[in-house]
Chains A and B, each alone.
Chain A
Amino acid sequence: MITTEEKLIEISELAFEYPDGTLALRNINLDIYANQFVAFIGQNGAGKTTLAKCINGLLKPNSGYVRIEGLDTRERGTTKKIVTKVGYVFQNPDHQLFNNTIYKEIAYGPRNLGLDEKDVDERVKEAAQVCGVEEDLLKEHPFFLTKGLRQRVAIASILAMRPRTIIVDEPTTGQDLRQSLEVMNFLSNLWQQEGHTIVIITHEMPIVAQYAQRVVVLGQGQILKDGSTREIFSEPDLLAKTFVKPPQITRLAQALNEYGIPKNILSVPEMVVAFNEAREKNLGNQTSQKGS
Chain B
Amino acid sequence: MIAVSIEDLGWKYSGRKNFAIEHVNLEIEEDTFTSILGPNEHGKTTLVSCIKGLIPQSFHGVWRGKVEVFGKDVRNQSAQALADEIGFVFADPEAQFTSMTVEEELVFGLENIGLPLHEVKDRLDWVTDIALIADLLDKSPYEISGGQKQRVAIASVLAMKPRIMILDEPTSMLDPLGKDFIFEILTNLKKEHSLTLIVVEHNIEQVAPLSDQIVLMYDGNIAKAGPPAQFFENSAFLYEHGINAPQATAFLDQLKSQNLYTGALPTDLKDAIQAATSLLKSKEPSES
**Direct A–B contact in complex, judged by CB atoms less than 8 Å apart:** yes
* A interface with B by C-beta (< 8 Å): 43-45, 146-147, 173-179, 203, 205-206, 243-245, 247-249, 251-252, 255-256, 259, 268, 271-272, 275-276, 278-279, 282-283, 286
- Contact among B180, B258, B283 for A286, CB-based, below 8 A: B283
| B269 contacts A268, C-beta separation under 8 Å | no
Between A146, A176, A244, A286, the greatest number of chain B beta carbons within 10 A of the residue's beta carbon is seen for A176
Chain B residues numbered 240-269 whose CB sits less than 8 Å from any CB in chain A: 242-244, 246-248, 250-251, 254-255, 258, 260, 269
With a cutoff of 8 Å between Cβ atoms, the chain A residues found around residue B279 in the complex are 275, 279
Asked if A282 and B281 make an inter-chain contact with CB atoms under 8 angstroms apart, the answer reads yes
- Identify the 10 closest CB pairs spanning chains A and B, nearest first: A249-B247, A44-B175, A176-B39, A243-B177, A248-B247, A176-B40, A174-B172, A255-B273, A259-B280, A252-B248
Say whether, besides A278-B280, A279-B279, A43 and B247 are in contact (CB < 8 Å). Answer: no
Closest to A46 in B: B175
- Taking CB atoms, residues of chain A closer than 8 Å to B146 are 44
Q: Is B145 an interface residue (CB 8 A)?
A: yes
Is B169 in contact with chain A by the CB < 8 A criterion? yes
Q: Are A252 and B250 neighbours in the complex by a CB distance under 8 Å? A: no
Find chain B residues with CB under 8 A from A177 CB: 39, 202, 242-244
A175 to B273, CA, bound (A): 29
**A256:B251 contact, CB within 8 angstroms:** no
Question: How many residues in B have their beta carbons less than 8 Å from beta carbons of A?
Answer: 39
Task: Name the CB-closest residue of A to B40.
Answer: A176
In the complex, whether B93 has a CB less than 8 A from a CB of chain A is no
Residue of B nearest to A282 (CB): B280
For B272, list chain A residues within 8 Å (CB): 252
Query: Considering the chains assembled together, what is the distance between the CA atoms of A245 and B247 in angstroms?
Result: 14
Q: Are B283 and A256 in contact (CB under 8 A)?
A: no
For A239, give the chain B residue with the smallest CB separation.
B176
Q: How far is the CA of A147 from the CA of B280 in the complex (A)?
A: 45
| Docked-complex contact A279 and B280, CB < 8 angstroms | yes
Is the pair A256, B176 in contact by a Cβ cutoff of 8 Å?
A: no
What are the residues of chain B within 8 A of A43 when measuring CB–CB?
175-177
Given the interface contacts A176-B202, A179-B40, A272-B251, does A256 sit within 8 Å of B280 by beta carbon?
Answer: yes
Minimum CB–CB distance from A207 to chain B (whole Å) comes to 12
CB neighbours (8 Å) of A251 from chain B are 269
Within 8 A of A (CB), among B5-64: 38-41
Contact check, B176 vs A271: say whether CB atoms are below 8 A apart: no
- Closest-CB distance, A61 to chain B (whole angstroms): 25
Q: Does B185 contact A (CB under 8 A)?
A: no
Chain A-chain B contacts (Cβ-Cβ < 8 Å), number:
96
- Minimum CB–CB distance for A240 against chain B, Å: 11
**Nearest CB on B from A97, distance (A):** 19
Alpha-carbon distance between A147 and B176 when the two chains are bound, in angstroms: 23
**Which residue on chain A has the smallest CB distance to residue B205?**
A248
- Contact: B41 with A146, CB < 8 Å? yes
Cross-chain contact A203 with B40 (CB below 8 angstroms): no
* In-complex Cβ contact of A173 among B172, B243, B255, B269 (8 A): B172
With most chain B CB atoms within 10 A of its CB, the pick from A243, A247, A255 is A255
B 207-246 contacts with A by CB, 8 A:
242-244, 246
Give Cα A249–Cα B248 distance, bound, in whole angstroms. Answer: 6
Q: B176 and A252: CB pair below 8 A?
A: no
Q: How far is the CA of A272 from the CA of B253 in the complex (A)?
A: 10
Query: Is B276 interfacial (CB-CB < 8 Å)?
Result: yes
> Which residue from chain A places its CB closest to the CB of B38 in the assembled complex?
A176
Residues of B within 8 A of A275 (CB): 251, 255, 276, 279-280
20 pairs, A vs B, C-beta closer than 8 Å: A43-B177, A44-B177, A44-B178, A179-B39, A203-B175, A243-B177, A244-B176, A247-B247, A248-B269, A249-B248, A256-B276, A259-B277, A268-B251, A268-B254, A272-B254, A275-B251, A275-B276, A275-B279, A282-B280, A282-B281
A245's contact among B147, B172, B176, B283, by CB below 8 Å, is which?
Answer: B176
Given contacts A44-B145, A177-B243, A203-B176, contact A252 B251 (CB under 8 A): yes
Q: A248-B248, A259-B281 are in contact. List 15 more A-B contacts (CB 8 A).
A: A44-B175, A44-B178, A174-B172, A175-B40, A175-B202, A177-B202, A177-B242, A177-B244, A205-B176, A248-B247, A251-B269, A268-B251, A275-B276, A276-B258, A286-B283
Most buried by A among B91, B173, B176, B246: B176
Contacts of A282 in B (CB 8 A): 280-281
User: What is the bound-complex CA distance between A282 and B243, given in angstroms?
Assistant: 34
Which chain B residues in 169-197 approach chain A with CB under 8 Å? 169, 172-173, 175-178, 180
- Complex Cα distance, B169 from A259, in Å, reads 38
